[in-house]
Structure 1
């Protein structure tokens, strides 16, 4: 097929050739030949980088095969990133219900288990995630919600209620400690986000109370968050506080946006009060 396309000498044949090559890469992956699949993917990425105005179906096919390659290697973070890119070039309405459910399930697991994935807002905002609702794996949707808001109490409750379903997923069972660390970090970020910008010096005891960790473990949690650049700040062991100067931007859910709106309203009230105060003092300043 590729030889026939090249023989036509038509313009823009690189797109259909790349599409065919991705099908070949997919066949190699199905046969368990990861090395040959990787070779096609590397060549495909180089071709894509040198092309402009590409048909979305070509992009979609490339990212789908890349995602399946990483899935076969249990590289959760890479699968997650490329599967979302696949969806960016694909109409969800064109996919079958069973396909959408399988993909939503895989995306959810990879979000939970992927290294350095601490923002679930993009996934929760995507319509494909709603495919989990009303199914036997609906519990996964609510676990994602708990992680996104750093809600430890809800997470523990869901683990208790859906213990049978959770234990049926070997990857989740094998990474229980990793999941706890991740939701503790997300709980920390939620604590920081919920405080006004002028009140970002937080006692370690408050973090310990919310995360149910010891002060020593809270210090480790903060160092982990600093090391992966989720936050910037200074830990003061003498005072037992942490001053946070920056938090990694996140895709916000509706409750978080409402909280942000309330804080903006409060800020506007303070600005208006300051304005009235300055206007009241201005005559005296001019007179003096």
Structure 2
């Protein structure tokens, strides 16, 4: 259960801790041993998607160093991770190697857990507040054009 939670949230630190704690049980599973590298790649991709998801949509230009810090990968490995994610259409965006950033314009929809739904609700509430403020501003600036 905890391993699935680690994958779902893209929590690399929890995954590594669980691998250490349950090393004997995991080593007893040949399929897990054979695919250890693929599992690490998958958790890194999920970690990347979580980094993107938790950022506001207007702030989706992410420094590669931020991704490297969270995934514990080198910058060149982060670039490979991004290219892999772009090639399988998990994300859409542009890698800017000059500025060492990636601008993500789209993320593949996925199943959300309760904490993710709560975060999404908070972002939606903030957006509704901004829309309301804009409406009040427009009404105040143009009282003759807006009918009550």
**How many Å separate the matches in 1 of 2:140 and 2:94?**
40
Q: CA RMSD in A?
A: 1.4
Residue number in structure 2 paired with 1:175: 35
Q: Secondary structure at the match of 1:196?
A: coil
> Does the residue aligned with 2:93 lie in a helix, a strand or coil?
strand
Is 2:110 the partner of 1:250?
yes
- Cα distance in 2 for partners of 1:194, 1:204 equals 16
Quote the Cα distance in structure 1 between the aligned partners of 2:100 and 2:92: 17
CA distances 1:137-171 after superposition (whole Å, capped 9, x unpaired): xxxx1111100110001101111111111111111
Q: Name the structure 1 match of 2:126.
A: 266
| More helix, by proportion | 1
Query: Could you tell me the TM-score, scaled by structure 2's length?
Result: 0.94
**Matching residue of 1:199:** 59
| 1:274 aligned counterpart, secondary structure | helix
Which residue of the other structure, out of 44, 59, 84, is the alignment partner of 1:224? 84
Q: How much has 1:283 moved relative to structure 2? A: 3.8
Match of 1:189 among 44, 49, 52: 49
* 1:242 aligned counterpart, secondary structure: strand
**Could you say which residue in structure 1 is the equivalent of 2:136?**
276
Q: Which stretches in structure 1 are left out of the alignment for 5+ residues?
A: 1-140
- Bigger RCO (CA 8 Å, 6+ sep): 2
1:143 equivalent in structure 2? 3
- SS where residue 197 of structure 1 aligns? coil
CA–CA distance in structure 2, aligned partners of residues 254 and 285 of structure 1: 43
1:85-109 CA distances to partner (integer Å, 9 max, x unpaired)?
xxxxxxxxxxxxxxxxxxxxxxxxx
TM-score normalised according to structure 1 size: 0.49
Q: Where does the alignment leave 5 or more consecutive residues of structure 2 unmatched?
A: none
Aligned to 1:153: 13
Whole-Å Cα distance in 1 between the matches of residues 87 and 130 of structure 2? 35
